[in-house]
Every structure is written in C-alpha cells, then in structure tokens.
Amino acid sequence: MRTNTSILWLRWVAANALGELLGLGTTLAATAFAFSRLDNQSGAGAVLVSFLFAVASGAIEATLVGLGQSWAMHPWFPTIARRAWWLATLAGALAAYVLGYLPTTLMSLGEEASQAPPAEPPQWLTLVLAAGLGAVAGAVLSFAQWLTMRGKVKRAGLWIPANMLAWLVGMPIIFWGIDAAQKGQPPLQAVLFLAGVLFLTGAVVGAVHGAFLVKLAKRT
C-alpha cells in the first residue's frame, strides 16, 4: 500500500474533511456557547476570558485533525510517531488560534475602552484578510509538524508552504460560511449549512497540502 500514493491522497482528504467537520464544528459550537453565556457581561475581563476559552477550545480540532492525519499518513511515513504528530498539530493549532483571535480581541478591548462599536469591513475585504490570515496561520500551524518531519522525510521544508497555500484557500471559505449561516436561516438549516462548509473546507485544504504530501511520500 505504501507505493500507491493515490490512496494516501484519498485517505488524507477524507481525514481532513471529517476532522474539520467534527473538530472545528465542535470547537465553534463550544465557543459560541461560551460567548453567549458571557454576552451579558462587559469589561476587559470578559473579553480576555472569551479569548482564552476560544484558544483552549482549539485543542478539540487539533486532536481530531491530528489523529486523523496520523492515521492517513502512517503507512507511508512509519517513522513519524502518531503521538508526536498529534502533539505537533496541537502546538501549532493553539499558536494559530492565538494569532487568529488576537485581532478581534484587541478590537473588543478597544471597543470596551471607547464604548464605540467597530466599523464592519465589506465582505470582499473580510475574505481578502481571511486569505492572508490563512497563509500566516498555515505557516504557524505547520511549523511544529515540519519539526516532526525534519530528518525523516526528504524535502520536508515543502510542508510549510503547502499549508500556507492550503489555508490561504481554506480560510476564506470558513469566513464566508459563518457569515452566510448567520443571515436569517432557520437554526437547523444554518447548522447543516455550516457543517457542509466545514466538511468542504477540510476537503479543500486536505486536497491542497495532500498533493504536497504525496510528493514527499514519493521521495521517502
């Protein structure tokens, strides 16, 4: 099976699609629940508590995605331990969550200080910024994974730009999906729609950096 890299790509895409659906879906649900409970509270303390909870909830996504990825790649990369890959994914995801939530947290703190609601940018600008955030977050997310690959996989340095490209494409899909799900749809329809968006995002992201993984497998 190790020689059939098309199977590797299919396993990888499936693992990422299901991992993002279940992992990111649970993370978003937990974060939304926590934010709703803190909605009536004001002040910098509530903003910081929300930030810390949002970052910590990223461990759910990181665990499900990391374990799924490890299952998908292990027959082709047996020298990469499953626990090491999971821990690398966890470390990278938590760092990426800090990066992702920091701008809105700082904006919220500024709003608390000035008592003025921030101006909402147009959707096209939001999606462009999401693509930039995705590229940066992809580099942060994959750095620890690259450390795990280094010395065991030839040309492992490709893994960082692979993730930058994947999340440059994937992050705007998430932002668009969350925005679209909040536009007056019935709750069940909104949940099903967002679940489809998360599955699609995982599949697209997995397809992009999975293509790079196949190249690395052929050189290993």
Sequence-ordered list of residues with C-beta below 8 angstroms from that of 185, at least 6 positions apart, any chain: 193
Output the average pLDDT for the chain. 88
Q: For 25-72, write each residue's pLDDT tens digit.
A: 999 888 888 777 766 666 666 678 777 888 888 899 999 999 999 999
Using the predicted structure, report yes or no on whether residue 1 has a pLDDT greater than 50: no
What is the spatial distance between Cα 150 and Cα 115, in angstroms, rounded to a whole number? 49
Contact 85, 66 (CB under 8 A): yes
Contact 104, 59 (CB under 8 A): no
Contact 196, 52 (CB under 8 A): no
Sequence-ordered list of residues with C-beta below 8 angstroms from that of 63, at least 6 positions apart, any chain: 23, 86, 89, 90
* pLDDT for the residue numbered 33: 80
How wide is the angle at C-alpha 30 spanned by C-alphas 203 and 90, nearest 5°? Answer: 60
The mean per-residue pLDDT over the stretch 79-87 comes to 97
Q: For 124-135, write each residue's pLDDT tens digit.
A: 899 999 999 999
Of 152, 159, 155, 176, nearest in space to 12 by CA: 159
Contact 190, 28 (CB under 8 A): no
